[in-house]
Amino acid sequence: MSSAEIHQIASELKARGITPTTAMVKARLSQAVPMAELLKSLSQWKQAQLKEQQDEPAPHDRHEGLQPHQEPLLHEPSVQSLAAQLDRLEQKLDRLLALMTQPR
């Protein structure tokens, strides 16, 4: 049940325009969940979100409408690339927070 609840909370946060973080999801859980399970479930949810975004067809090619003399910026990072990078950083931060909260 806790994995489904974690996914539901994360989806609700996203629907409100809030990026679901470990701390935000943990604060909204109805009962305590082991940190490892929370991190795993939230990571699975994030991966599913990325897959959904990648599976959606683009409304139009971003190069459409460019004049023949206009070239797209090759060094310009894509939104998906930045989203993936942000997700990796969030996962690293979540792991760091988990390590810091472990009893010694």
Q: Provide the greatest CA pair distance for the chain.
A: 63
How far apart CA 100 and CA 22 sit, in angstroms, is 13
Q: Where are the domains of the chain?
A: 1-51+81-104
Q: Write the single-letter amino acid at 77.
A: P
For the stretch 42-61, pLDDT in tens is 999 999 988 888 877 766 55
How far apart CA 58 and CA 77 sit, in angstroms, is 17
- The predicted pLDDT at position 45 comes to 93
Is the per-residue pLDDT at 88 higher than 90?
A: no
- The predicted pLDDT at position 67 comes to 54
How far apart CA 97 and CA 104 sit, in angstroms, is 14
DSSP 41: H
